[in-house]
């Protein structure tokens, strides 16, 4: 019987990506999410004597899947990937879609389809711990670019995240929060800006963010209760507002 909660280890790769390792210290088992690069994951597994129970993939972009093959060649484990990206993820083994349930040792996930960034994008939700592994849908003070999906799809995906329990922790796979902060400050200066949240809330967010980044700590996980107060893409009250914001952000 488990006596401790699983924990999440963030492994920085490339310029601003994170690979997530979910670790059960009681069983010495781990689940990896979006391994865009394998070497850091393999080093961590080896140094800590962990067994790889599975790999979860949110979408098909190379910086999320390039490490899958070398990883499972050394540490054989099942790979769960979006059904709608079946032709784009060569190392997927089990194809998942909305409502599917995944059990990997002591860790359980529900699959949420959240199109917009890509058409097949999924997120992995752990209801017990209120953790969402959201790939590139939502970022600190921002949201993902629309490479394949429509504005309506992304807006609806963000609404689904917004409606999760307020205590939800969101593990997004890029460290974009400081960059998005500058966009929020620019929004606040516009006469025709849509709702941007309370200036004091944003100032508090900025202070906490700069303190974390000043000691090289990640801004991830995001706290949904806070993002809903300051993230303009979650504050948008309509598809039209969201579209205006996303188009404005695209120009930055």
Residue 132: inside a domain, yes or no?
yes
Residue 210: inside a domain, yes or no?
yes
Could you tell me which residues come within 8 angstroms of residue 222 by beta carbon, excluding any fewer than 6 positions away? Answer: 138, 139, 140, 169, 170, 172, 177
Q: What is the pLDDT of residue 251?
A: 86
Residue 1: inside a domain, yes or no?
no
Binding site listing for Zn(2+): 59, 61, 63-64, 117, 136, 174
Q: What is the pLDDT of residue 239?
A: 97
Could you tell me which residues come within 8 angstroms of residue 150 by beta carbon, excluding any fewer than 6 positions away? Answer: 116
Q: What is the pLDDT of residue 151?
A: 98
Which CATH number is 97's domain given?
3.60.15.10
Note down the domain range covering 36.
7-250
Beta bridge partners of 167: none
Q: What is the pLDDT of residue 64?
A: 97
Residue 2: inside a domain, yes or no?
no
Question: pLDDT tens track of the chain, all 252 residues?
Answer: 456 789 999 999 999 999 999 999 999 999 999 999 999 999 999 999 999 999 999 999 999 999 999 999 999 999 999 999 999 999 999 999 999 999 999 999 999 999 999 999 999 999 999 999 999 999 999 999 999 999 999 999 999 999 999 999 999 999 999 999 999 988 887 766 666 677 788 899 999 999 999 999 999 999 999 999 999 999 999 999 999 999 999 987
Residue 152: inside a domain, yes or no?
yes
Q: In this structure, what is the dihedral angle of CA atoms 111, 145, 149, 194, given to the nearest 10 degrees?
A: 100
Q: What is the pLDDT of residue 252?
A: 77
Domains identified in the chain, total number: 1
Binding site listing: 59, 61, 63-64, 117, 136, 174
CA–CA separation, 129 and 20 (whole Å): 15
Q: Which of 215, 129, 199 is nearest to 170 (CA)?
A: 129
Residue 78: inside a domain, yes or no?
yes
Residue 149: inside a domain, yes or no?
yes
């Amino acid at each position: 019987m488990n006596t401790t909660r699983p924990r999440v280890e963030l492994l920085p790769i490339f310029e601003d990506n994170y690979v997530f390792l979910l670790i059960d210290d009681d069983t010495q088992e781990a689940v990896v999410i979006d391994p865009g690069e394998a070497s850091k994951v393999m080093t961590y597994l080896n140094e800590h004597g962990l067994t790889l129970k599975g790999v979860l993939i949110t979408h098909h972009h190379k910086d999320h899947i390039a490490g899958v093959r070398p990883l499972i060649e050394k540490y054989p484990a099942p790979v769960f990937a979006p059904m709608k990206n079946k032709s784009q993820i060569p190392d997927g083994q089990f194809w998942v879609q909305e409502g599917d349930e995944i059990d990997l040792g002591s860790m359980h996930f529900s699959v949420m389809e959240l199109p917009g960034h890509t058409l097949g994008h999924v997120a992995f939700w752990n209801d017990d711990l209120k953790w969402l592994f959201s790939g590139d849908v939502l970022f600190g003070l921002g949201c993902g670019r629309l490479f394949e999906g429509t504005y309506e799809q992304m807006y609806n995906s963000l609404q689904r995240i917004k409606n999760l329990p307020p205590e939800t922790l969101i593990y997004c796979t890029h460290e974009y929060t400081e960059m998005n902060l500058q966009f929020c400050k620019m929004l606040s200066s516009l006469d025709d800006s849509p709702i941007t949240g309370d200036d004091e809330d944003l100032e508090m967010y900025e202070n906490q963010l700069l303190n974390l980044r000043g000691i090289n700590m990640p801004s991830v996980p995001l706290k949904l209760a806070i993002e809903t107060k300051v993230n303009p893409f979650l504050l948008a009250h309509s598809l039209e507002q969201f579209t205006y914001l996303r188009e404005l952000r695209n120009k930055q």
